Structures are given as structure tokens and as C-alpha cells.
Structure 1
Amino acid sequence: MAQASKTSLKVGDNAPDFKDVAAVVQDKTKNVSLGDFKGKYVVLYFYPKDDTPGDEFSKSLKDFEKANSVILGASEDNEQSHKEFSCKKKYTVSLLSDPSQKLVKNYGATDEGFGRRTTFLISPEGRIAHIWPLGKDRDMKKHVEQVLQTIQQLQKK
């Protein structure tokens, strides 16, 4: 069982709920809650700030959608920053705005006041199915492939 070093969450725990969080896709914003995605796998990946690498999830969005999954990126950046970043990079995944760091803290994906690259896979029932702590030497393309493979393996069970 993989587990992030600073999170108290573990595989099998209920995923911390979130409600009415601003989700940005390019120039559009809507508020989302974890419950909106019940019945789907949720890939929730935390990253330190906008304008850092990590568009591999966006490139693979169609594969994740075929696997009954939704991808949500999250950082403490505000909605305007997410809009600029998302438009500039032509991202197609939703970026959650967490300026209060409530989401990042509830998931334990923080490191000295900044979001730490950590990916949580949440099951269709709302439980933590897998946790990937990511270091600075991460290979995002390989990581995205691992996340998709994990979802596909869980669907076979």
C-alpha cells in the first residue's frame, strides 16, 4: 500500500469530502463537490502551484474518461491564476482552487506551506483506493500511466 509521508490518510479510508470548490477548465469556472462524482473513480492530484509541469493528465483525459474516471488537479492558486494557466497550457482537466489550503490540509498534501505533489485515487464509493506521493524526480508520463493501470486493475476485481 503506497502512502504519502505526511498524510494520515490510508487506503480504505473515506476520502475527505469537499463541497462547492471552484473548478476551472480554461476560461470556465463551476463549483464542484466530491459527491458530484459518486459512481466514478476520482483522480485528485495536488501540485505546488500553477505554471509548474504536469500536463500529462490533460493529455490522457480521454483514456481516463473511458475508464469511468474524472481528473481533478488542485493547488492553492486562485481562480484567475488557474484560468490563465489552464488557457495558456490548453488544459482540459478541472483545476480546483484552494487558496485557503483547506483541501490540501484535509488530504495531508502539504509541505512547508505549499501543496506537495501527491495523487489520490478515490473509488466510486468515496474511499481512498491508492495514494502516490511524488518527489521532485517524478516522471509524470509514467505516473499517469500507473494511475490509469491501477484504475483498470481495480475495475477487473
Structure 2
Amino acid sequence: MTIEIGVQAPDFELRATNGENVSLADFRGKNIVLYFYPKDMTPGCTTQACDFRDYHQNFTELDCVILGVSPDSQVKHEKFIEKYNLPFLLLVDEEHKVSETYEVWKLKKNFGKEYMGIERSTFVIDKEGKLVKEWRKVKVQGHVEEALQYVKENLV
């Protein structure tokens, strides 16, 4: 399945930090900001999660759900949520199947070392489940505000 603006976003089911399995279809009728990030408790990922936390109410007022996805375990996600008071669900993609489906599981390089990991990316999905916007290779600073502005201007 190819990720393409204007078509249905690939549905999936993953375990969430509320202990339940959730799917995109569970949120039909709401806008969704689905963001993929490399790892809990790292500086960039923490900043991004806290930015989503700080703007959570703004997204909620726009009938928009925030879902974060990483390959971390449910236990790590729960610690991340607790430490930073994150008011949205984090989804467990330990086998990186959803990350592969959304084409964010990439070969990365850091200090000359190559490894597979998540390329920080964000997708906006409308109330009908259609992918309407994507950001790839996201730079954290200012990104959440940009995503919020997009939702305000295009999905309200």
C-alpha cells in the first residue's frame, strides 16, 4: 500500500498506552494528527511530545486527536507519559509494521553508524479517514504550531 495525499490512510491496529488495541477506524469522525517519532525520553522526541501536550487543548477544540507512534514498548511509553503528563495516546509499534506501511522506517546514519529507525514524520488524516497532509524529516522546532495551523485552516 502506498501513502498518498487524497486517498484513505492505511488503517492499522496497535496497542496503546490505555491498554487497549486501537485503530485509525476507531477515530473516524475526528481529525487525526498521527506522528511517528524515534524514541521515548530523547531530547528531540521529548520536546515534540511536550509541544503536542502544550497545544493538546487547541487540537481538541478543532475535533482533532493526537496519536504518537514509536517502536518503544508499552512500559516505556507509560513512563514517558507519566514523566511529561502527556494527555494523548502513544502507540506501540515494536515490530515497526505500521512505520513500514507509512514509509517512515528508514536507514539512518549517526556518527558514521548506519541503522534502521523512524524518520520523524507527521500525517494529518481527516474525519473520513483520508490522508490530507504529511511532513517528512520533521524538524521539531515550530512543527507542532505548523500542524495546528494546518488543521485550523483546512479542516475546520
TM-score, reference length from structure 1 = 0.85
Structure 2 counterpart of 1:87, which letter?
E
The residue that corresponds to 1:154 in the other structure is 154
Residue 69 (structure 1) aligned with residue 64 (structure 2): yes
Residue 111 (str. 1) matches residue 114 (str. 2): no
Q: 2:79: which partner in 1?
A: 84
Match of 2:146, as an amino acid?
Answer: Q
Alpha-carbon distance, 1:41 to partner: 0.7
Q: Deviations over 1:105-151 (max 9, x none)?
A: 1101112221110000011111111001134xx243x2111111111
Q: Which runs of 5+ in 2 are unaligned?
A: 108-115
* Structure 1 segments (4+ residues) deviating >3 Å: none
Match of residue 8 from structure 2: 14
Q: Which 5+ residue runs of structure 1 have no aligned equivalent?
A: 1-6
1:106 alignment partner AA: T
CA distance in 1, matches of 2:146, 2:52: 11
User: Is contact 2:37–2:68 with CA below 8 Å preserved after alignment?
Assistant: yes
2:129 corresponds, among 123, 126, 150, to 126
Q: What percentage of residue pairs aligned between the two structures are identical?
A: 36
Note the aligned Cα RMSD (angstroms).
Answer: 1.6
Distance 1:108 1:58 in 2: 25
Determine the C-alpha separation between the residues in 2 that align with 1:115 and 1:148. Answer: 22
Q: Which residue is 1:23 aligned to?
A: 16
Write the deviation string for residues 24-55 of structure 1: whole angstroms up to 9, x where unpaired.
1xxx4222111111011110000001112322
Distance 1:76 1:139 in 2: 19
Q: Which whole-Å deviations, capped at 9, do the CAs of 1:86-121 have from their partners, x for residues lacking one? A: 111221121000001011011011122211100000
